[in-house]
Amino acid sequence: MNWVFHLAAAVAIVSTGMVIAAVDAVHALLYLIVSLYSVAVIFFTLGAPFVAALEVIVYAGAIMVLFIFVIMMLNLGPRSRDQERRWSRGRLWIGPAILAFLLVAELTYVLAHPGSRLPVVAIVGPKQVGIALFGPYLVGVELASLLLLAGLVGAYHLGRSWSRPERNGEES
């Protein structure tokens, strides 16, 4: 079972590095989704299936949808159609597809061989997560929410100022 943890950690490190190195925002977003899924597999192998489910639902689900809307908001007219055609080429999906396949293979192996799991020390349930989030980690949760709000406001401001036509030399 240790190999599943190590392989998921390697996928997380590689895909997170690709998020930083990706030139296109959509490719970075795809690698970020793979990275978040691999972190969920890590949580699952450590005996925290609820935290793994939260990772998938909240981060890889809801926040990625928010990022997709921000990327859609920043696209600019006809130029974005050409970009989308280039992004939809099959060979650009090879990297995220390989990493995602490794994660699915790991998860399939873990679910098919229940005796090979690591011993579970303690099950983390919803009550413990709520107590931790609204207890000692409250400041961290609030700072993360403010950081996401600042990113959303900044993206809205950039999208709004780019979509407005310039008016006779006036600055926006």
> For 78-103, what is each residue's pLDDT tens digit?
666 677 667 667 677 788 788 888 88
pTM: 0.53
Query: Where do the domains of the chain lie, and which CATH numbers do they carry?
Result: 2-122 (1.20.120.1200)
- Name the phi and psi angles at 74, rounded to 5: -85, -10
Residue ranges in the chain whose pLDDT is less than 50: 172
Q: 4-7: long-range contacts at Cβ-Cβ below 8 A with a sequence spacing of 24 or more?
A: 4/41, 4/45, 4/106, 4/109, 4/110, 5/42, 5/45, 5/46, 5/118, 7/102, 7/106
Q: Is the dihedral of CA 60, 61, 63, 67 positive or negative?
A: positive
Helical packing angle, 138-163 and 64-74, nearest 10°: 20
